[in-house]
Structure 1
Amino acid sequence: MNTTPPGIPSVSFRSSIWLISTLLIATGCAQTPDIRSSRDGTSGVTAGGNPAYLSCVKADIRQDARTFIQEEDGKTLLFVGSTDPTTASGLVELSNTQGPGRYAVYQRHAWQDKGRLINAARACART
């Protein structure tokens, strides 16, 4: 009969703890912080052209926020805070490839300023 002395965990118990810990760490690391995977955003169609729309959105962003415009795969991207989608606080994607200007806007932690970027993107799309 094989018994384990009191107070010393069995090998299978230690293996289980190790496996569970590894899975939890791997699951946490697998999350993508890309702002485009955020649930805080919306999309629609713009009434005006790209330059006018982006100028309108930029005018409604806080004056101390840094903005960057990039062209990528037929889209115009307006980043807020950083050009890295994993650290940017906001992103507006504008595309003319499918007829009228289609936009998508994403804002990280939108609750902090009540979705100001999202609201600006919606309002500018109507003008």
Structure 2
Amino acid sequence: MKNTSPGNSSAFFRSGKVLLLSSLLIATGCAQNPDIRASRDGTSGITSRADTEYVNCVKGGIRHDAATFTQEENGKTLFFVGSTDPAKASGLVELSNAPGQNHFSVYQRNAWQDKGRLINAAVMCSRA
């Protein structure tokens, strides 16, 4: 006759489930794209303002102590907040030129922290 204790097999399966769940969570976290353009916090629209005028307006609508950077890339004007690295930037506004109007896209990482100040500034400046 073989002696088994009833708790050993269920403990084994529980630890196996924990290991599997932990592995899946780690793999999912590592697979996320850190580029700010992959963020769900953002919007897009059209403005009739010139690039420089629009960027200056948006810059005036965010915290004055925020580090900002403007770059030109492939015919687009990129306005970064925090860093020029899209994986580290806290905000990004992209402007694309079209005849008579400019298309903008704005992305803000953790927008809930300051109630979407960059997003709100980009939308407000597009209307003025």
TM-score range, shorter chain: 0.7 to 0.9
Find the residue that maps to 1:101 and give its secondary structure. Answer: strand
Given that 1:74 and 1:97 are in contact with CA atoms closer than 8 Å, whether structure 2 keeps it comes out as no
1:98 to partner: Cα distance: 7.0
Q: Tell me the CA shift for residue 72 of structure 1.
A: 1.8
Partner of 1:30: 31
Secondary structure of 1:85's match? Answer: coil
Does residue 72 (structure 1) correspond to residue 65 (structure 2)? The answer is no
Deviation at 1:22, TM superposition (A): 3.1
Identity of aligned residues (%): 63
Q: Deviations over 1:45-99 (max 9, x none)?
A: 1121111111111111211000011122221110001111122111100011576
- Please report the RMSD computed on the Cα atoms of aligned residues, expressed in angstroms: 2.5
- Contact 2:41 2:107 (8 Å CA) reproduced: yes
- CA distance in 2 between partners of 1:115 and 1:4 (Å): 63
Structure 2 gaps, min length 5: none
Aligned length: 125
Gaps of 5+ in 1: none
Q: CA separation of 1:15/1:93 partners in 2, compared to 1, >3 Å: closer, same or farther?
A: same
Name whichever structure is richer in helix by fraction: 2
Number of the residue aligned with 1:62: 63
The alignment's TM-score, normalised by the length of structure 2, stands at 0.81
Normalised to the residue count of structure 1, the TM-score between the two structures is 0.81
2:87 aligns to what? 86
